[in-house]
């Protein structure tokens, strides 16, 4: 009676918080401890001791609790860095690792919590029918599910109050066991039954481990706590500590009062060992009911957070609404109740139970990863008042993964597949959030490490085109962007840039234009960086951009742009090309109509003059183009003009040798001029090509005259690419 009066006193002070919200004891400690002291303690702990003995059990309890404790450390770090709102583990993961990761873990976690209600209720009903055989298991299960659901719908505080009585029943059962006496004369079993009559150590470990994984029960009530940052770590540590002490004392009692054979064969051995045996039944019933209540409180709140963040489809957004003064998720509670009733009616959850356990362990593992990554990155925004070294968080994650495979490798793979499918689904939906996450910090750390290791000297073995496209407005020269994307093929960098002809433009306007272009490209599945600059003259701006854009050794090595049709722009345009060449940037000029679609993309004519300089780069770019998705069915025809028949065989052999050594599937064609000019041959031979590739002469002082003549002579060709190699690199070393 003194204990019950103390509970009532504690209950009144614990719930008399701001706005009626929960404190540490009632909101975190009690739900977590009651889930830890569950049915495994009553029905399977004697079996554990019987199999591995006292010493082995103490090792199992310590190892299991260590993994839970490491997870609790990670939870403490995250919860003391941010205000944890409704959603518990889902909320913490989504705000650290992103909405997709949070949703991929949160949706299975909700299902696991909802179906766990049925698991615990069925366990309660089965134990009740053992005492009262006239009762029907399914009827009892459905009635109990409805009753606890109605209580949760009425008031979270009222539901928590019932857990105090359950705690009292469990305490009474443990006291009764402590006051009991030995069942038979026996020596303390240090190592359990003989090997031929007992299970393997790791099999026993896998059976016991779920007993200590109840710390989410308190975390799931984060939205109902007065001070989550204080209550979650404190209440979780208290529950883990008290649970550990109890689980370390119980094996001593069991091993000293019954031999291994008895412990192995009698699931309710505690009832025979206790001073008042029926108190153990009260404990079993209390343990199953408390676990069911904890899951019933947690599942709807996870669902509420998922709906509020728009992770769920739009037609389920109503599940995000809360009701009443305390924002009770009644719609989510009703849905959880329906799922639990259906599961109780079906009756057998043995098939999916292992997968549900994997979902819980996945949540613990991801929480450890979130805390570890946050600590490892050392972001200025991550300032938890409870600090944990990243090593311990990652150790906890490894422990969770190891236990998952120990318990059930098949269920682990199934759970991983399910989580992965949800992640891919959420990623494709492209959910926009108002909160940041750690992913950008991860990529920045990787980028920093890579940039510091990238050599400024070009390496032929690892050369790729880093293309800067001077596109102007993307909609006007979309063919430049699509062709650039085909050249990079998702394996190299591409930047889409625009120069605004205006000396004074507000920085905010430039940023807004970059954002608009970026969204435009993403909507068309083009992966590219974006840069918008302003200048008094677009040609001067282009020169300035090429000279200054990039960081460290990672600067664009190739500039891609369209040609110019206006006569007054020819001089500054040619000066700009000369500037690019002097800056050692390869130049690709694409001459095509604004709406160019490059025909059927079936044939590329490459007019070749040899392997050196332009010739090597042209072959390389043609190879990249042929390996792109859009040009994968195109034939690349290497064409070369010779003056007479005597040079044909030798030229063919040289080209064949080069193409063979390049290991590419290009065709070749050697054409005899027979007195015709190159331009006449070019027009005749490439009239039906989808793309023509030509080399560009080095820009000298008379480059303007050369370029105007070139434009005139190639005016009637299909879309044409002019290639100018300027990089200090022998492209022959890349090709051969």
Domain ranges of the chain: 2-429, 460-735
Q: How far apart are CA 86 and CA 83, in angstroms?
A: 10
Q: How far apart are CA 527 and CA 518, in angstroms?
A: 9
Among left, alpha and beta (phi > 0; psi -120 to 50; other), residue 82 is beta
Q: Are 497 and 467 in contact (CB under 8 A)?
A: no
Per the DSSP assignment, residues forming a β-bridge with 670 are: 640
Q: Are 305 and 86 in contact (CB under 8 A)?
A: yes
Can you read off the two tokens belonging to residue 365? 């593992």
| pLDDT for residue 222 | 80
Q: How far apart are CA 478 and CA 473, in angstroms?
A: 8
Q: How far apart are CA 274 and CA 178, in angstroms?
A: 7
| pLDDT for residue 619 | 94
Q: Are 102 and 370 in contact (CB under 8 A)?
A: no
Instruction: Give the lowest-confidence range in 163-172, 289-298, 482-491.
Output: 289-298
In terms of Cα–Cα distance, which of 428, 401, 226 is closest to 326? 226
Q: How far apart are CA 532 and CA 512, in angstroms?
A: 10
Can you read off the two tokens belonging to residue 404? 């998952």
- Percent of the chain predicted with pLDDT > 90: 38
Residue by residue, DSSP assigns 554-619 as B--SEEEEE----GGGHHHHHHHHHHHHHTT-EEEEEE--TT---TTS-EEEEE---STTHHHHHH
Segment 115-154, tens digit of pLDDT: 888 888 888 888 888 788 888 888 999 999 999 888 888 7
State the average pLDDT over residues 33-55.
87
Q: Which CATH superfamily is domain 2-429 in?
A: Amino acid/polyamine transporter I (1.20.1740.10)
Which residues lie closer than 8 Å to 229 by C-beta, 6 or more apart? 79, 80, 82, 83, 84, 385
β 529-535/586-591 pair status: unpaired
pTM, entire model: 0.74
Segment 62-96, tens digit of pLDDT: 999 999 999 999 999 988 887 777 777 888 888 88
Q: Are 480 and 559 in contact (CB under 8 A)?
A: no
Handedness of CA 690, 694, 700, 703 (dihedral sign): negative
Residue 19: pLDDT over 70: no
Q: How far apart are CA 29 and CA 232, in angstroms?
A: 9
State the average pLDDT over residues 491-496.
91
In which order are the strands placed within the sheet that holds 720-724?
529-535, 494-501, 467-470, 558-562, 586-591, 720-724, 691-695, 603-607, 635-642, 667-672
Q: How far apart are CA 117 and CA 293, in angstroms?
A: 7
| pLDDT for residue 581 | 95
Which of the pair, 338 or 291, is modelled with greater confidence? 338
Class of the CATH domain delimited by 460-735: alpha beta
Segment 277-288, tens digit of pLDDT: 899 999 989 888
Residue by residue, DSSP assigns 290-332 as HHHHHHHHHHHHHHHHHHHTT-S-GGGGGGG--BTTTTB-HHH
Instruction: Give the lowest-confidence range in 137-141, 413-417, 456-460.
Output: 456-460
| pLDDT for residue 350 | 62
In terms of Cα–Cα distance, which of 465, 648, 480, 639 is closest to 561? 480
Can you read off the two tokens belonging to residue 609? 């003059």
Can you read off the two tokens belonging to residue 152? 């949760």
In terms of Cα–Cα distance, which of 38, 118, 149, 127 is closest to 352? 118
Per the DSSP assignment, residues forming a β-bridge with 499 are: 533
Residue by residue, DSSP assigns 524-544 as TT---EEEEEEESSHHHHHHH
Can you read off the two tokens belonging to residue 221? 């009530």
Can you read off the two tokens belonging to residue 79? 């919860």
Residue 3: pLDDT over 70: no
Instruction: Give the lowest-confidence range in 116-120, 484-488, 575-579.
Output: 116-120
Q: Are 513 and 495 in contact (CB under 8 A)?
A: no
| pLDDT for residue 437 | 66
| pLDDT for residue 360 | 85
State the average pLDDT over residues 238-248.
95
Segment 714-731, tens digit of pLDDT: 999 999 999 999 998 888
Per the DSSP assignment, residues forming a β-bridge with 590 are: 562, 721
How many helices, marked H, and strands, marked E, lie in the chain?
29, 10
| pLDDT for residue 131 | 82
Residue 9: pLDDT over 70: no
Residue 1: pLDDT over 50: no
Residue 614: pLDDT over 70: yes
In terms of Cα–Cα distance, which of 286, 261, 268 is closest to 42? 268
Which of the pair, 593 or 3, is modelled with greater confidence? 593
State the average pLDDT over residues 9-27.
59
Residue 434: pLDDT over 70: no
Instruction: Give the lowest-confidence range in 97-111, 350-364, 527-541.
Output: 350-364
Segment 510-541, tens digit of pLDDT: 899 999 999 999 888 899 999 999 998 889 99
Q: What are phi and psi of 524, to 5 degrees?
A: -105, 15
Cβ-based burial of 59 (10 A; exposed 0-12, middle 13-18, buried ≥19): middle
Map residue 718 onto helix, strand or coil.
coil
Residue 556: pLDDT over 90: yes
Q: What angle do CA 262, 264, 266 make, to 5 degrees?
A: 65
Q: What are phi and psi of 724, to 5 degrees?
A: -130, 115
Q: Are 158 and 151 in contact (CB under 8 A)?
A: yes
Element (H, E) at 342: helix 330-346
pLDDT band with cut points at 50, 70 and 90 for residue 5: very low
Residue 595: pLDDT over 80: no
Residue 13: pLDDT over 50: no
Q: How far apart are CA 72 and CA 215, in angstroms?
A: 8
| pLDDT for residue 11 | 43
Element (H, E) at 272: helix 269-273
Can you read off the two tokens belonging to residue 245? 């002490």
In terms of Cα–Cα distance, which of 43, 3, 19, 12 is closest to 291? 43
Q: Which residue has the tokens 């050692």?
A: 584
Q: What average pLDDT does the structure give for the chain?
A: 86
State the average pLDDT over residues 418-434.
82
Segment 161-220, tens digit of pLDDT: 888 888 999 999 999 999 998 887 766 667 776 766 778 888 888 888 888 888 887 787
């Amino acid at each position: 009676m003194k204990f019950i009066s103390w509970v009532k006193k504690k209950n009144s002070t614990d719930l008399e918080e701001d706005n009626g919200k929960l404190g540490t004891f009632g909101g975190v400690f009690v739900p977590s401890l009651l889930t830890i002291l569950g049915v495994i303690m009553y029905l399977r702990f004697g079996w554990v001791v019987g199999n591995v003995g006292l010493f082995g059990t103490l090792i199992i309890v310590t190892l299991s609790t260590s993994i839970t404790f490491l997870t609790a450390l990670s939870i403490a770090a995250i919860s003391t860095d941010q205000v944890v709102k409704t959603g518990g583990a889902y909320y913490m993961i989504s705000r650290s690792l992103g909405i997709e990761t949070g949703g991929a873990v949160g949706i299975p976690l909700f299902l696991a919590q909802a179906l766990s209600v049925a698991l615990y209720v069925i366990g309660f009903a089965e134990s009740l029918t053992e005492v009262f055989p006239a009762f029907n298991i399914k009827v009892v299960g459905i009635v109990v599910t409805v009753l606890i659901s109605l209580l949760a719908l009425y008031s979270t505080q009222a539901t928590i109050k019932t857990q105090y009585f359950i705690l009292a029943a469990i305490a009474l059962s443990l006291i009764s066991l402590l006051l009991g006496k030995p069942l038979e004369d026996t020596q303390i079993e240090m190592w359990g039954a003989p090997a031929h009559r007992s299970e393997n150590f790791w099999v026993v470990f896998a059976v016991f481990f779920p007993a200590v994984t109840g710390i989410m029960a308190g975390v799931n009530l984060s939205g109902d706590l007065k001070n989550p940052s204080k209550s979650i770590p404190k209440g979780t540590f208290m529950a883990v500590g008290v649970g550990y002490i109890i689980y370390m004392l119980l094996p001593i009692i069991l091993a000293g009062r019954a031999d291994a054979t008895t412990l192995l064969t009698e699931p309710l051995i505690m009832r025979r060992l206790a001073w008042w045996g029926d108190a153990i039944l009260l404990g079993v019933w209390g343990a199953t009911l408390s676990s069911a209540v904890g899951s019933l409180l947690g599942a709807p709140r996870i669902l509420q957070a998922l709906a509020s963040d728009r992770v769920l489809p739009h037609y389920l957004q109503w599940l995000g609404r809360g009701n009443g003064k305390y924002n009770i998720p009644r719609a989510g509670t009703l849905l959880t109740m329906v799922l639990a009733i259906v599961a109780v009616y079906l009756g057998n959850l043995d098939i999916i139970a292992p997968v549900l356990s994997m979902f819980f362990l996945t949540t613990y593992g991801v929480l450890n990863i979130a805390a570890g990554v946050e600590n490892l990155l050392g972001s200025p925004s991550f300032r938890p008042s409870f600090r944990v070294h990243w090593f311990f968080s990652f150790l906890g994650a490894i422990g969770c993964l190891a236990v998952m495979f120990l318990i059930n490798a098949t269920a682990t793979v199934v759970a991983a597949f399910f989580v992965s499918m949800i992640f891919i689904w959420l990623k494709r939906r492209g959910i926009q959030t108002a909160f940041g996450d750690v992913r950008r910090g991860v990529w920045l750390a990787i980028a920093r490490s890579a940039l510091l290791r990238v050599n400024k000297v070009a390496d032929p073995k690892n050369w790729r085109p880093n293309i800067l496209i001077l596109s102007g407005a993307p909609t006007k020269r979309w063919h430049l962007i699509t062709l650039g994307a085909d050249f990079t093929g998702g394996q190299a960098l591409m930047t889409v840039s625009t120069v605004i002809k205006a000396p004074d433009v507000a920085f905010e306007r430039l940023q807004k234009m970059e954002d608009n272009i970026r969204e435009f490209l993403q909507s068309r599945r083009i992966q590219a960086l974006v840069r918008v600059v302003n200048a008094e003259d677009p040609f001067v701006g282009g020169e300035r951009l090429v000279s200054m854009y990039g960081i460290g050794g990672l600067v664009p090595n190739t500039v891609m742009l369209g040609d110019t049709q206006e006569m007054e722009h020819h001089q500054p345009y040619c000066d700009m090309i000369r500037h690019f060449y002097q800056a050692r940037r390869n130049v690709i000029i694409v001459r095509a109509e604004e709406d160019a679609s490059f025909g059927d993309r079936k044939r590329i004519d490459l007019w070749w003059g040899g392997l050196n300089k332009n010739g090597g780069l042209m072959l390389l770019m043609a190879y990249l183009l042929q390996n792109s998705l859009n040009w994968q069915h195109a034939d690349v025809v290497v064409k070369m003009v010779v003056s007479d028949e005597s040079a044909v065989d030798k030229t063919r052999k040289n080209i064949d040798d080069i193409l063979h050594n390049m290991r590419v599937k290009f065709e070749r064609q050697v054409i005899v001029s027979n007195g015709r000019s190159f331009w006449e041959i070019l027009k005749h031979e490439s009239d039906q090509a989808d793309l023509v590739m030509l080399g560009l002469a080095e820009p000298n002082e008379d480059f303007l005259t050369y370029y105007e003549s070139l434009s005139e002579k190639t005016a009637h060709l299909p879309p044409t690419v002019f290639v100018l190699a300027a990089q200090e690199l022998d492209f022959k070393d890349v090709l051969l």
